[in-house]
Amino acid sequence: MTRRDIVTAIPTSFRADGSLDLDGSRSIFRYVGESGNEGAFVLGTTGEFPAVDDDEFAQLIRTAVEELAGRMRVIAHVGQPSAYEAVRRVKIAKDAGVTEFAALTPYYLPAAESAVYDYFAQVAEAVGDGALYVYIYPRRSGITVSPELLARLAQLGPVVGAKVSELSLDELAAYRAVVPDDFILYTGADKDLVAAGEVGAQGVVSGVSSVLPKPFRALAAAADTGDAQTIADAQTAVDDIVSVIGGDMARMKAAYRAMGIADGTCRMALVQPDEAALAEIERVIATYR
């Protein structure tokens, strides 16, 4: 059977004044832990990681492990502009019991492939006998990872896979062609669970599934049947949710508020949903929860 992991990218809850809402974040972890999804991607883009300091990072990672260990894999995102900072976060996460890590490429300043390789070599050394995913998101980081570079990175012992965001299926297929057969590729495109699998990916890292996981589970199950109409029907439901919530953390938090899970907001400068958007969020909750 084809592997179709659904790894949930989890938002971080903040209070109205911008301070960390650890209780709200704990509630989100608990809710996600009931989803049946294969893993949790903690403090990635959806978790607003650039706005979280080391102490908050430690609190959130410890809380994620407390709430999710034994129920789903916890992948801690440790990516930072420098290897020095990323290694520091690896150590914090390891102290909390994490064994799986992801690291965005270094960002803000341009970096040659040799510098990107060196960054991941240092992070991989810190990960040690754990597992490390290369997080490729050029539209946010400004750093591209060529298939040739990913093939080199795949030779680093701890590097077991990559998360690829906002790249085409053809680009995903180009990565698949150069990495080992057991190298794991996750797409960051919520709705492409089935489509990405057709070009060799093993699953999706999905923020939308943190809000309404059932349609994603239904799509994975439908894909396993191989029945075209069943898959199409399940895909329509996922497409509907993604069109309303998308990769929008403010909308995700509005949904949590509507469901009584967490009354948090965003720390980063994100536009809040208007009345029309809130009505659509209420609709998809009523339809798919």
Residues with a known catalytic role: 135, 163
Q: Which two tokens stand for residue 4?
A: 């179709």
Helix (H, G, I), strand (E, B) or coil at 204: strand
- What is the DSSP secondary structure assignment for residue 190, as one 8-state letter? G
| Alpha carbon distance 181, 288 (integer Å) | 35
Residue 169 corresponds to which amino acid? Answer: L
- What is the DSSP secondary structure assignment for residue 35, as one 8-state letter? S
Q: Which two tokens stand for residue 215?
A: 């349609």
Integer angstrom CA distances of residue 206 from 92, 191, 210: 24, 8, 7
| Alpha carbon distance 246, 34 (integer Å) | 21
| Alpha carbon distance 208, 284 (integer Å) | 12
| Alpha carbon distance 238, 10 (integer Å) | 18
Residue 102 and residue 75 in contact, taking contact as beta carbons nearer than 8 Å: yes
Residue 179 and residue 153 in contact, taking contact as beta carbons nearer than 8 Å: no
Length of the chain: 289
Q: Which two tokens stand for residue 1?
A: 């059977």
Residue 252 and residue 211 in contact, taking contact as beta carbons nearer than 8 Å: yes
Closest Cα to residue 134, out of 157, 163, 99, 176? 163
| Alpha carbon distance 193, 213 (integer Å) | 13
